[in-house]
Amino acid sequence: MADEGAASGLTCLLAGRGDPDRLRAGRRRQRARRLAARRHLTEQGRGEEAERLRRFGPNLDGSIARA
């Protein structure tokens, strides 16, 4: 999740350039990373954090956002 902020920034840049294929690919990678992170948290018995990540996503620093 460390590079989630970079991926988000790249997504915004691509959106501004009008590159929809690369934009969609970037979004798919972000979703895959979040799913893997949620799965990892759940396997560690950290279900509340996994649910927060699902609902609110990550902060730019990679931490899990709160409501």
Domain ranges of the chain: 4-56
Q: What is the pTM of this model?
A: 0.62
- Report the percent of the chain where pLDDT is more than 70: 84
pLDDT at 18: 72
Q: Does the pLDDT at position 1 exceed 60?
A: no
Cβ atoms 26, 12 nearer than 8 A: no
State the average pLDDT over residues 17-32: 83
Taking the C-alpha atoms of residue 32 and residue 4, their distance in angstroms, rounded to an integer, is 11
More confident residue, 63 or 17: 63
